[in-house]
Chain A
Amino acid sequence: GMTNSEWKVVLQSSCLRHHSVITAEGQSYFGHVAHSLFLYRGGLAERLSRLQNRERSAVSFWRHQRDSDCKMPSGDKCGILMLKIIEVHEECSMQVALCQKLLDPSSSVTSSSTDCSPVKMLKVLFTCHTAAQLKGQPDDIIHIHPPWLKLNLRNESIPVILNTHFTQRVTGNVKDSKDRKGSAVLPDRRRPVPLSLVFKIDTEPDNKSKCEEPQKVRVGSQPCCQEQPSTLNFTVNDSLLDVVETQGAAGWSETSIRVVVQRVYGLPSRDGLGASSAHQQPCGGRAELCLLIQDAYGIFSELQLQCNYVTAADIENYSSRWEGRACCLSGMKILQRTTRGRAPGLFSLIDSLWPPLLPIKIHGQDQGQLSCCSEINLPPPSFCYILAVHHSEGGDRIQEEDKISDFYLPPVVHTLDKILQVVDILQRCSFWATVIYMKPETIHSDSSPQEDTWMFVTDVTLQHTSEGLLRPRVLAVCIPPSCVLDLNLLQTLCGNLPRTLYFKDTVKENGRIICIERTVLSLQKPLLSYAAGVSEPTGPVILDELDSRTEANSLCSVKGIIIGVNERASFSWPACNKCGSNKLQQSAGNRIKFFGVIGREVGPLDCFVQAWSGHPDSSLALEEICLASPGSG
């Protein structure tokens, strides 16, 4: 029958040119130590087991995504097989579906009889698991997502499709699918396969197990040989999952792994005294140095470096040393496995690095083979391992290569107008912009900030915006204490504004930027930047005028006429002659006091907007600020 020959060819094509295996001559293998359930370490079965686990989680992830995600992206369909089931039957606990390839993705109608091109038929194999989910019937349309595998068999004109775990039935009829849950017509079970047939495995003469030179490559070793298991493992691996799964939770791995360092950043130090960020560090700004690494299979991991003493200032040094380069790591320990739900900040950074720049390897796929899967279709990772490694200067745990890796995805540095227009909310973005004001204006040199720091940035694209464009001239950047800041940097900024700064991997929110964990601020100008040709703003900075859209924690320019003075508190109320609807209030911290002010014209003043207060009248608290113009101070 059909299945016989295709299994035969699967086995024939699976014939491996295996290097000679050491066998003890003349040893008869009767009797054998009973071994327990787990597989022989370092053996082929263990390798397959790892592949299986990986595949299983990929399949369940895909299924979960598919179920929760009703609409299919209508864009890129490359790599997806769109088929119509003609007939389906069961053979030896697998389901075999004879299918017709659909030419037009949007039509469920087969090509008309006037079409001269031969109809492309395919035989698709499903495991019983997939078949139970799919409940395929004749005339159903199915989509098989990559990675699937196509086999052209000898003596068979119809190719066979394997690895069909990612298959989905796309039939428009909702009612139809409900009916499926009931008594569906079961596909017939073909007659059992005759057992009188055997497969012939082609083996070449050099494949015999007798070996003359014992020192060939060994795959798996004799259980009775005294051998160090580490000799098999001590190779440079390029798969994070392999290392993680071989190691398990305990101990430091002896395996080396080759990865690309995509990002270097600091995370707030967890001292074991709780996650309280209010804990004051005497030496100021202590942080945990972390690397976001990626292996050849596209898998990410966050690597925490356990160093003697690292400040946020060191991050810049390590970044220039390691970021973008391939490194060989050894001696890692697995701390935990985290998921998208538990670490949204980490995954927003990972998402910004997806899809990868170069084709990644896929477990179980031949790299040279026709890859029916494009990276656009690969979903971004849903899990990430957190690893740790000891690092000391002069140590050999991290060995970087000289040139920048092709795999490195540097941050895309935009101008601020593009950040506002192009970047989506909650996406990571990077920019090079001039900080014109900072709040608080002075920084205590010793400790990390305990409250939000605000920076207000602008650049030429925002300053020179044409009238009529509803775009702010200044963008507010919020830096909560959880973002590791270099105190030296802050001190440099204090009193030295305006200063241009590189904001790397910040997160865009509605109308403002927020620096969360893993954002890095640096005085160093990035090498690759869309802002490269754009000059820095010269002349006084223009602020947006105060109006009804003004928000708290922003800068604005206000002008108006004083209509009243609170003599008790030395307040005065200029009324904005622009929108006229707000009563304005100047805070007590103002430097300029108004005496006899009523009727006097005021402004334009540069102000920091503190807060709206709702009662009794809607009013804004403003604080006048002094912006130094570029080129001064």
Chain B
Amino acid sequence: MAQVLCRVLCELGKHPRGCCLQGPGAGSPQDPDPVRKDSPISVQEEPGYGPQGPPLLLLGPSRSGKSGLLFMAAVLAAEEGAGPVIFLSRDPLQKVPGTGRTARDPLTLKQIRFLYPATPEELLRQLSSLHLASPSPSFLLLDGLERYLPPCSGPAEGAHISALLLDAASHLRCGLVVSAVPPADGTEGPFMAVERYFPTRCQLYPEMTTDVEETAAAYNIAFSNYLPEWILHVQEDGKLKIFPIKAQRPADT
């Protein structure tokens, strides 16, 4: 699992009394017993991947808070100090997503390099040149992959970008998180190919619930094959809140 994202969720859901929310167990997607309540999050070394674990694909509708989550992950990764963090997006972030938590050290933010390739070709060139970067990046994030896959593109384009992302992350031995809005209908087209390269996924999907503030939208968070354990609230001002489903008690950020 992308450990960083788990840590992000933990950060968001930290109970004021100091108990950490348990993240999902560090097993493979096919693990029949995904939730091990007794095991804290641990960094797991998997072959071929860096210490962050396998690449993760974060899927959810637009404005479901993916950018915020990704940004928070970037901050946490930068705090690790293992190397620069590359944040790729087609469009520059309008504002810093309101996770409410800023980095302890402002210099940490300088460790995050924001790159905004405008076209798929530029994105590919960025990815194929990552090995030139010095010092070597420690984390790679891509926000809004769907913006590089217009409807006219096909599985070939989706596969190429996805494969190059994996290739870069494998060479750099760094973590990789990609966020995207899945297509509304069908599986044809570029997205079908993308999913083949990212077996580890986290999905946000809308939650229909009554006990929610009117100004917020709610989304379930589910890792691959798992039942949703948390609900993410995205407020109008972009603030994110996370609630465990079972506990039914809101936790402040």
A contacts B directly (C-beta below 8 A)? yes
A residues contacting B by CB (< 8 A) are 1, 192-196, 198
B residues contacting A by CB (< 8 A) are 30, 48, 54-55, 159, 163, 166, 196-199
**Separation of A198 and B163 alpha carbons in the complex (Å):** 12
Contact call B166/A196, Cβ cutoff below 8 A: yes
How many pairs, one residue from A and one from B, have CB atoms within 8 Å of each other in the complex? Answer: 19
Residues of chain B lying within 8 A (CB to CB) of residue A198: 48
Show 19 residue pairs from A and B whose CB-CB distance is below 8 angstroms, ordered by the A residue: A1-B30, A192-B196, A193-B196, A194-B196, A194-B197, A194-B198, A194-B199, A195-B159, A195-B163, A195-B196, A195-B197, A196-B54, A196-B55, A196-B166, A196-B196, A196-B197, A196-B198, A196-B199, A198-B48
**Separation of A195 and B166 alpha carbons in the complex (Å):** 10
Closest to B159 in A: A195
Residues of chain A lying within 8 A (CB to CB) of residue B166: 196
**Separation of A194 and B159 alpha carbons in the complex (Å):** 12
**Separation of A194 and B28 alpha carbons in the complex (Å):** 13
**Separation of A198 and B198 alpha carbons in the complex (Å):** 13
**Separation of A404 and B43 alpha carbons in the complex (Å):** 70
**Considering residues B55, B159, B163, B199, which has the most beta carbons from chain A within 10 angstroms of its beta carbon?**
B199
**Separation of A196 and B198 alpha carbons in the complex (Å):** 7
**Separation of A195 and B161 alpha carbons in the complex (Å):** 13
**Separation of A12 and B174 alpha carbons in the complex (Å):** 27
Residues of chain A lying within 8 A (CB to CB) of residue B199: 194, 196
Residues of chain B lying within 8 A (CB to CB) of residue A196: 54-55, 166, 196-199
**Separation of A1 and B163 alpha carbons in the complex (Å):** 20
Residues of chain B lying within 8 A (CB to CB) of residue A1: 30
Closest to B198 in A: A196
Residues of chain B lying within 8 A (CB to CB) of residue A193: 196
Residues of chain B lying within 8 A (CB to CB) of residue A192: 196
**Considering residues A192, A196, A198, which has the most beta carbons from chain B within 10 angstroms of its beta carbon?**
A196
**Separation of A545 and B199 alpha carbons in the complex (Å):** 91
**Separation of A192 and B196 alpha carbons in the complex (Å):** 7
| Minimal beta-carbon separation of B92 from chain A (angstroms) | 29
Residues of chain A lying within 8 A (CB to CB) of residue B159: 195
| Minimal beta-carbon separation of A360 from chain B (angstroms) | 44
Residues of chain A lying within 8 A (CB to CB) of residue B198: 194, 196
**Separation of A389 and B30 alpha carbons in the complex (Å):** 64
| Minimal beta-carbon separation of A109 from chain B (angstroms) | 30
Contacts A192-B196, A194-B197, A195-B163 known; list 5 others, CB within 8 Å. A193-B196, A194-B196, A195-B196, A195-B197, A196-B196
| Minimal beta-carbon separation of B126 from chain A (angstroms) | 20
| Minimal beta-carbon separation of B195 from chain A (angstroms) | 8
**Separation of A193 and B196 alpha carbons in the complex (Å):** 7
**Separation of A196 and B163 alpha carbons in the complex (Å):** 8
**Considering residues A1, A195, A198, which has the most beta carbons from chain B within 10 angstroms of its beta carbon?**
A195
**Separation of A192 and B194 alpha carbons in the complex (Å):** 12
| Minimal beta-carbon separation of A12 from chain B (angstroms) | 14
Closest to B47 in A: A200
Residues of chain B lying within 8 A (CB to CB) of residue A195: 159, 163, 196-197
**Separation of A194 and B163 alpha carbons in the complex (Å):** 12
**Separation of A198 and B197 alpha carbons in the complex (Å):** 11
**Separation of A192 and B197 alpha carbons in the complex (Å):** 11
| Minimal beta-carbon separation of A526 from chain B (angstroms) | 68
**Separation of A193 and B30 alpha carbons in the complex (Å):** 13
**Separation of A196 and B164 alpha carbons in the complex (Å):** 11
Closest to A1 in B: B30
**Separation of A590 and B139 alpha carbons in the complex (Å):** 116
**Separation of A346 and B54 alpha carbons in the complex (Å):** 66
**Separation of A243 and B159 alpha carbons in the complex (Å):** 46
Closest to A194 in B: B199
**Separation of A553 and B163 alpha carbons in the complex (Å):** 86
Residues of chain A lying within 8 A (CB to CB) of residue B55: 196
Residues of chain A lying within 8 A (CB to CB) of residue B48: 198
| Minimal beta-carbon separation of B175 from chain A (angstroms) | 14
The 3 A-B residue pairs with the shortest CB-CB distance in the complex, in nearest-first order = A194-B199, A195-B196, A196-B197
**Separation of A245 and B30 alpha carbons in the complex (Å):** 48
Residues of chain B lying within 8 A (CB to CB) of residue A194: 196-199
